[in-house]
Amino acid sequence: MDIVYIRDLRIETIIGIYDWEREVKQTISLDLEMAHDIRKAAETDDIEYALNYKSIAKRLIAFIEGSEFLLVERMAEEIARIVQEEFSVPWLKLRVSKPGALRYSQDVGIIIERGVRG
């Protein structure tokens, strides 16, 4: 299976468990790898057969900007669900990070894989 990816998609949102985190928007960063057979799109040069990463990015931006999760883990599960259910992605690998969330660290976060890679 081929991989379509989005790297370092930065979105402002309310995320975190501390009182101050509930009052200010923070930046989260997404890296997303998605299984998709690109051969038909390559053969026809037709977007209809491609996994439209712009549509996925727009959907995730709207969802995350409107969310107020406590945990990155919950956010990651919801992102994975949206991508798999709404865009028919059988497998994905998702990295969600909070840049600057931990002193002396570039970022912190989680990586999850969901589904079956074809």
Q: Which residues are catalytic?
A: 98
Long-range contacts of 36-45 (CB under 8 A, 24+ apart): 36/1, 36/2, 36/3, 36/4, 36/89, 37/1, 37/2, 37/118, 38/2, 38/4, 39/2
Residues with Cβ within 8 Å of residue 61, at least 6 apart in sequence = 9, 11
- The tally of CA atoms less than 13 A away on the side-chain side of residue 48 is 3
Strands 68-69 and 3-15 come out as parallel
